[in-house]
Structure formats: C-alpha cells, structure tokens
Amino acid sequence: MLLRIDHVGIACENLDEKIAYYEATFGVTVVSREVNEEQGVKEAMLHVADGEGGGSYIQLLEPLGPDTPVGKFLAKRGEGLHHIAYGVPDIEAAMERIGGSGVRLLDERPRHGAMGTSIAFLHPKDVGGVLTELVESPPRPS
C-alpha cells in the first residue's frame, strides 16, 4: 500500500534560514515553495531523491502564527520532526482501508497538499504518537 516515504515534515522558526542551512549542509534543493493558509504554514519542499514510486523530500514548515498547529507544536516541543508522509497510489482507497482498521482520520476527504498532491492526515494518537500523512501524487504529464 505504501509506495515510498514521500517526505518528512520539519517544524522551524525561520523558513529562509532553514532552507539555506539544508542547502548548504546536505546539498538538497528547493523545488517548491507555498503558503498554505488552510494549514497555517509557509513551506518548502527540498528534493532528496527519486524512486519508482515518486520523489522523496524534506518539507520545512514555518507557522503563519502562534495559533496554528505548527505554531503550537513549536511552542510545546521546539523545532524538530513534525510528521511523516507516505506516498500511496490511491488516497481515497488508503483512507477507507486505514479508517476501516480503526485509525481516526483527521480529514474526512482528501485536501490539497504541496505540488498538486492530495493529502490526508491520520490521528497521531492512533499511530503511536506519530502524526502521519498520506500523499497521492498528481498524475504525471504524459
């Protein structure tokens, strides 16, 4: 069911500084920057690798304010790993299967993620404390 580790989400105080750090230290490159008002973040995707199932990325997240989910995370835990996202071939099928196994879904239906993806989050309390995201990539241009 899982195609790949799509990305790890990392919460940070200052997106521009953290992008510069990751580029200089790990040689990764920004491929997308977005402001997601719905999720209360500005974010950047840094490309790590490509695989059969699609790309893998580091996602850096800066909250748009203290009353956002990532803002509250930073206040409580400080900068660090925020969530893990797995690529799936069909997000609605994955949501149905996982929801049917008793894991609560934070999203009733898929919503828009970075780079044209469809995403849904699973309740971290039902995944051993890990905020877990499912990602379906957009169809590749043919």
- Name the token pair of 53: 């199932």
- Name the token pair of 65: 């304010």
CB of 78 to its own copies, least distance (A): 5
Q: Segment contacting its own copies (CB under 8 A): 31-39, 50-58, 63-71, 110-118?
A: 50-58
92 exposure class (CB count in 10 Å sphere: 0-12, 13-18, 19+)? middle
Give SS3 for 72.
helix
For position 18 contacting its own copies by CB under 8 A, the verdict is yes
For position 79 contacting its own copies by CB under 8 A, the verdict is yes
Catalytic pick among 39, 62, 82, 83:
83
Cα dist from 132 to 20, 30, 55, 62, 85, whole Å: 26, 23, 18, 18, 6
Give the contacts of 54 (CB within 8 A, at least 6 positions apart): 3, 4, 6, 87, 137
For position 16 contacting its own copies by CB under 8 A, the verdict is no
Single out the residue of 30, 84, 105, 106 in contact with its own copies (rule: CB under 8 A).
Answer: 84
For position 93 contacting its own copies by CB under 8 A, the verdict is no
Nearer to its own copies, 129 or 139 (CB): 129
Decide if 133 is catalytic: yes
CB of 24 to its own copies, least distance (A): 6
Phi, psi at residue 58, to the nearest 5°?
-100, 125
Decide if 136 is catalytic: no
Single out the residue of 31, 35, 75, 81 in contact with its own copies (rule: CB under 8 A).
Answer: 81
